[in-house]
Amino acid sequence: MEHLCSHNFCRGAPEDFTRAKTSAFTQLQQGKSDMITNEVVNRAIEFILHHAGEELSVEDVAGHCHFSKFYFSRLFKAETGESVYSFIRRVRIEQSAFRLKVEHGRRITDIGLDYGYSPSNYSSAFRQHYHTTPVDFRRKIYQHSVTHPFFHRGENHLESFAQCNGKITVKELPDYYVVYERRIGDYHDLSRDWAGFLERYQEYIGPDTMMLERTYDDPSLTDAGCCLYDVCMTVDKSCPLENTYTVHGGTFAVYHFEGPAWGIYAAYQSIFNVWLPEVSYEIDERFGYDLYRKVNCDTMEMALDICIPVR
């Protein structure tokens, strides 16, 4: 759900994108995160993400995709490097940990129940994954957020409520129809991933194209190599590509970020640890995104909207 990145593209005219991706394209040869190219697996991931609080079995996910359990299990493992069962289990516990972090007023047992755990089972599963109890985790999450490696510069700090609130507007946002690429990997790879994405889809870039980034995990809660994210850009609904979907609109808390790329993580943590505990809004079941307004490819100063779905 948040990241620190150094995107090597410029928001603006098509020639700006071309200059940016050309300068960054050589990074593609230095390694890569795992792109998930099979749309069946991508549909399965969407299904799991949106039903993690339910009793969900491998058979349920395979049935949703109209495949046998055994064939689908092999397909999913080949694309993601993780078994369906392990992915479901990990998503469930990490989503619950995120709720512990941002929903301070809720009882731990109630959050566990939301994800199918009895009180005793929740503590055991949580300890197995995070090597601490839910109670200790919640007590220490603020400190953990600001000592995490993503929070790596001395200039970084969490904002006060007044500072954070002054940058947030709660408003309705429209749907966006996008072409996307999904990866499981490290958010630090986003620069390279954007470079390749823009190279592959440059023919679809126009003067009104918007660049979006969907990060599904909080890197302070998910191991670096296991973070799920999509790089996206808006396209016309007549786009013939298979890897398209609609980013649904609705009510969002929009944090207007301006600054260096390394400050994005701190901005997210200010929203989660400072702003949300003090307001009446709650994060709902949708996933947010970053909407890029401007990026200076030389200084990596950028303007973007961090869009958090709320109710």
Residue 11 has pLDDT above 80, yes or no: no
Give the 3-state secondary structure percentages of the chain, helix then strand then coil, rounded to 5.
45, 20, 35
Per-residue pLDDT of 63-73, as tens digits, reads 999 999 999 99
Q: Are 25 and 199 in contact (CB under 8 A)?
A: yes
Report whether pLDDT(28) > 60: no
Instruction: Specify the pTM.
Output: 0.87
pLDDT beyond 70 at 29: no
Higher-scoring residue by pLDDT: 229, 298? 229
What's the confidence (pLDDT) of residue 8? 39
Where does residue 291 fall: left (phi above 0), alpha (psi -120 to 50 degrees), or beta otherwise? beta
